[in-house]
Amino acid sequence: MNFLSQGTMRFGELHRAMPNIRQGYLTQQLRELEKDGIVHREVYKEVPPKVEYSLTKIGKEFLPVTQAMSVWGEKYIELLKETFNEDTLEKKK
């Protein structure tokens, strides 16, 4: 969703923005987000076919939630690193 917050993107653009994600998994996630009304999929009747993805109104309204979750996740990862480093240091004593 973060990439789509910047505007409409084609599938290839999304996939290049996330090179570590499998194509099939990205397709699956986009379909689920479309089904849930978060993402809009626009198919143009061209040869070759052109498909663009964008956030719906509700998808845009949900962005602050995902951004807050991302910030929380980063803080939690740091906490885990500190916790496990402390545990590792204590075991070495």
Largest Cα–Cα distance in the chain?
68
Question: Can you give the pTM of this predicted structure?
Answer: 0.76
Q: Provide the b/e sequence for 31-52 (b: ≥16 CB within 10 Å).
A: eebeeeebbbeeeeeeeeeeee
pLDDT tens digits, residue range 51-92? 999 999 999 999 999 999 999 999 999 998 888 876 665 665
CATH of the domain at 59: 1.10.10.10
Q: What percent of the chain has pLDDT over 70?
A: 91
Name the domain count of the chain.
1
Query: Which among 47, 40, 37, 38 is positioned nearest to 9, based on CA atoms?
Result: 40
Count of other CB atoms within 10 angstroms of residue 60 = 14
Query: Would you mind telling me the total number of residues written for the chain in this entry?
Result: 93
Bridge partners (DSSP) listed for residue 86: none
Query: Which pLDDT score, from 0 to 100, does residue 85 have?
Result: 79
